[in-house]
Structure 1
C-alpha cells in the first residue's frame, strides 16, 4: 500500500491532523512530503540550535493554509515558493498561510528558519527526540520526537528523501542517517553533509553528536561504527558476527535495502537500542565482551527491512515492525549455533500466556504500542505461520513481502493477503486467532 493511497493522509487544510487513529495530532493532512533539505548549526556547550528546513511537498487537496509539526523551537522567517508568508505557532504546530491558495496537485517548497534549545517531546512513553548526553547529543524520535529538531510532517506513512547538513565544533563527530557526502572544516567548526536517497519517515531520521572513534568492518565495507575509543575491544567481539548476520538476513529476507549500515555506541547507558534508517544506536551497557546483547544487534539490523524499508502505514500495524524484528532474533540464534526458533517460541509462548489476555495484536491501542506482547506475540504469529506454511513457502513469502513493498508503506491486511497467495492451505483461522482475538492460541503442530 503506498503512502499516497493511505487514508491516514487525508485531512482538512490547517487542521493539523494526520487522521491516524492512534496519534492524530502528529502529522498533517492536505499534502505529501517529497524531500527535506535541512541545515543545522549546533553549539554543544550551550545546547543552541539554529536551523533551516526547506520542505518540498505536493498538495493532495486545495490548501488555503497548512501545518507542520515543530516542538519547542521558534520559527522565524517562513516562505512558500520564495514568498514571505504569515505563520503562527500553536502548541506543537506551525500553521502556515500562503499568499495564494495552493491548488490540488500543486508542488510547492516551504522554507523555514528556526532557532532555540531543542528538548525532547513529552509523551506517554517518556521524553522523546533530541536529547543530551554528558558530552554530545542523542536523537531517538520514535514515535513523536522528530519535531523536537526539525519542522516536519510527522507521520510514518509520509516518507521523503533528505539532505542533512550539521555544523558543530570540530572535536565532535556527527553521524546522521544516510551517506556522508562531504566533510569540511573551517576555523573551529566542521560541517558534515549527508544524503538519504531512500524514502524515509521522519521518526527514522537521526543525528548523533559525540567524541567517537571510527570502527570499520574489514569484510563488509558498507558497515561502519562510531564508538567510545576505550570500548573498541569489546565492540570488536560483541559485534564481530554482524557481517555474518547480514549475510544470513539477506538470504532469508532478500537484499539489504540501503547503501550502508552504521552503528553508534553512545557514551551512556540506554534502556533499549534506538532504531533509525541505516543506523542503530546502542548504549555502553550493550557491550559486555560476552555478546550478551547480540540478540539486540540482530533485532536492530532486521529493522532495516522491517520498519525502515517497509514502514507501517498507521501505528496500529506496528506488530509488522516489531514482530519481524523479534523473530529475526530467533532466526539468528537458529543459524548461528544457538537455540532453534522452536525453543525460543515455546519460551515466549509461556511468557505471553502468563500475561493478561486482553491485547489485540492487529490493533493494540496507543497505550500498548510498545507492549512486550506486541513484540513476542508478533514473533509467535510468524512462527505459527511458518509452521503452517512450511519452510519453503514461508521464506518465499518473506522475500516477496520485502521486495514488493521496498521503501513503501505496509498494512496487516496487505501481509495477510500476500501470505494466502503463497500457500494452498487456508490461513483465515490462523490469522483470526493470532491477530484479531485477544486470547493466546496454541502453537500449531
Structure 2
C-alpha cells in the first residue's frame, strides 16, 4: 500500500519536472495520442479518436492490366484535442511517405492502423493537412459474414465498396460512419477505360502516356463506407430528372439491355422519393452496373449505387431510398443498421403500394403469417433477433435488420395514422439531413414528432425477442399514392 501511495504522490511531481524541462528547451507539452478506435459496438477498432475529417482529396492511378494502385491522399481534419500522434485506418498497401502541415512526419504500421507522429504537436481546434503517398495491389477486405469488400478487381476493371470497413482497403482515413466529410476523387486510367466515382464529374482529360484523368467532386458530407471508384469499359449515359437532378449511369458491357428497364425508372424514383421523403439530398444521381460475378451484392454508394449485374426495379428503388436513409442520414454506429435497411425495405413496400401493388398492410400480415405468395422473404428468419440488437457484426445485414425493421415502421404507421407517419419520415430526413443518428435518436424523435407513446412498439418490435403476435390495432388506411413526376 505504501508503494502505491508513493506512486500517486510522485506522478504530479513528475509532471511538474517534465513541464520545467520542456520550458528549458523552449517547447510546450500540449498533445497526447488520439485513440486508435471509436469503440463501435461491433467494430471497436474502426475509426479513430482525437480529430474529425473535413475533406478527403484522393488522387489515384490504376492500371487493370497489372492491378497496381499508385495514390496520394490529402486529408484535411480538425483536431478535437491536442495531438502528439493520431491514427488512420489502412489495410495492406505500402506507405511511402507522410507529411503533416507540410513537414515530414514519422509513421508506423500495426495491423490496419497507420500511426502518424507530426513533427510538431497539433493544437486543439487546429485544422491540419496530412498527405500520404502509398501504393500496391489492393486486396479485398473480408467481412465477419464472409463477404468481400474493399477494392475488388475484375477481369477488366475494378470497383471499390466499403460497407462496413472496406474503404480502408483503398485509402487511409477515419473509417467510421460517424465521421463524414466532403470528397474530391481523381482517378487516372488507361485510355479506353472509364473511371466513375461519387458526385459530379468536374473534368475528363487526356494526360500523358495514353492515360485519361477523371476528376469527381462530392460537395455533400459522405461517410467513407459510401465512397466508391469503379474502373471499366462502361457505357455511360447522362440526363436529368424532371426536377433537374443530374443523372449519370455507367453500365458494364453486356449489361445494357438487362439494365435498361430498371434504370429508365431512376428519374421517376428520385421524384417519387422527393415527394414521399422530402427533397432529394444530393445534386446528382446515377448507377454503376458491374459485370456479373464481380460482386455478390448491391451497395448504396452515395449518388451512384453499385449493382452486381443488371438490377431490377425493386433493387434500384431500395438503393435509391438509401440516399435519404443511410447516405444523407447516416448511422452513428453499426448497431444502428436497421435505420438504413429497415427504411429502405419499407420504401419498397410503399413504392409497390403507391403503384397499385401489394399494400404495406398486406405485406406486414404476410410476414406474420409466413405467406410467401405475397413476399418470398416472409418465411425467412426475420424474427431471429431484434432489429436494434443484432447479436454480432456478422448479423448486421441479416433478415431482421431489413424486414423486421420495416415492420417496426409499419407498426408506427398503424399506431399514429398516415398523416403523422409520413410527416415523421419527412421530418426525420430533413432534421438529420447530412448528419448521423442513432436508434435512441429515432425513438425519441418519433414520439416527440407524433405526440404518441410508442413504448410498446419499441419494447415488442424493435428490442423484443421472438416473433411478435399480431397487434391489436385498427390498421391505418392506405396512404394516398404519391404521384411521380416525369
Q: TM-score normalized by structure 1?
A: 0.92
Q: Which residue of 1 aligns with 2:389?
A: 363
Q: Residue 299 and residue 386 in structure 1: after superposition, are their counterparts in 2 closer, same or farther (change >3 A)?
A: same
| Aligned residue among 455, 461, 483 for 1:434 | 461
Query: Structure 1 residue 128 and structure 2 residue 149: aligned?
Result: yes
Q: Find the aligned partners of 2:380 and 2:64 in 1 and give their Cα distance.
A: 46
1:101 is matched with 121
Aligned partner of 1:146 in structure 2 is 167
Q: Is the 8 A contact 2:73 2:133 kept in 1?
A: yes
Cα RMSD over matched residues?
1.7
Aligned residues: 428
* 1:61 lines up with 2:88 in the alignment: no
**Where does residue 271 of structure 1 map in the other structure?**
296
User: For 1:104-123, what aligned pairs fall within 5 Å after superposition?
Assistant: 104-123=124-143
1:418 aligns with 2:445: yes
Name the residue aligned to 1:196: 218
The answer to whether the 8 A contact 2:80-2:125 is kept is yes
- The answer to whether 1:232 aligns with 2:256 is yes
- 1:207 corresponding residue in structure 2: 229
Aligned match of 2:342 in 323, 329, 346? Answer: 323
Aligned to 2:332: 313
Aligned ranges 1:250-265 → 2 under 5 Å: 250-265=274-289
- Determine the C-alpha separation between the residues in 2 that align with 1:353 and 1:337: 24
CA separation in 1, counterparts of 2:231 and 2:470? 45
Alignment match of 1:300 (pick from 301, 319, 344): 319
Q: Match for 1:180 among 181, 187, 201?
A: 201
- Structure 1, residues 170-221: CA drift from partner, whole Å, max 9, x if none? 1011110111001111241100001111111110000011001112356556
Distance 1:197 1:89, change over 3 A: same
Residue aligning to 2:92: 72
Secondary structure of 2:33 counterpart:
coil
Contact 2:382 2:404 in 1 (8 A): no
CA separation in 1, counterparts of 2:182 and 2:104? 25
Structure-2-length-normalised TM-score? 0.85
CA drift of 1:14 comes to 4.6
* Number of the residue aligned with 2:352: 333
3-state secondary structure, aligned to 1:65? strand
Contact 1:384 1:443 in 2 (8 A): no
Deviation at 1:438, TM superposition (A): 1.3
Asked if the contact 2:292/2:308 (under 8 Å) is kept, the reply is yes
State which drifts further: 195-204 or 98-107: 98-107
Match of 2:374 in 1: none
Bigger-Rg structure (1/2): 2
Q: Is the 8 A contact 2:255 2:310 kept in 1?
A: no
8 Å CA contact retained: 2:58, 2:73: yes
Secondary structure of the equivalent of 1:108?
Answer: strand
The whole-number CA distance in structure 1 between the counterparts of 2:183 and 2:158 is 20
Does structure 1 retain, via aligned residues, the 8 Å contact 2:58–2:186? yes
Measure the CA separation in 1 of the matches of 2:321 and 2:423.
Answer: 17
- Cα offset for 1:296? 1.0
CA distance in structure 1 between the aligned counterparts of 2:446 and 2:114, rounded to whole angstroms: 42
Which 5+ residue runs of structure 1 have no aligned equivalent?
1-11, 287-292
Structure 2 match to 1:3: none
Task: Kindly indicate whether residue 56 of structure 2 is the aligned counterpart of residue 36 of structure 1.
Answer: yes
Which consecutive unaligned segments of at least 5 residues does structure 2 have?
Answer: 1-31, 371-377, 474-486
CA distance in 1, matches of 2:319, 2:382: 27
Asked if structure 1 preserves the Cα contact closer than 8 Å seen for 2:383 and 2:400, the reply is no
CA contact (8 A) 2:241 2:271 kept: no
Render the CA deviation track for 1:352-389: whole Å, top value 9, x for unaligned.
67638551322213231111111000000001111111
Partners of 2:111 and 2:166 in 1: CA distance: 14
**Aligned twin of 2:273:** 249
Structure 2 residue 403 is matched with structure 1 residue 376: yes
Q: Secondary structure at the match of 1:64?
A: strand
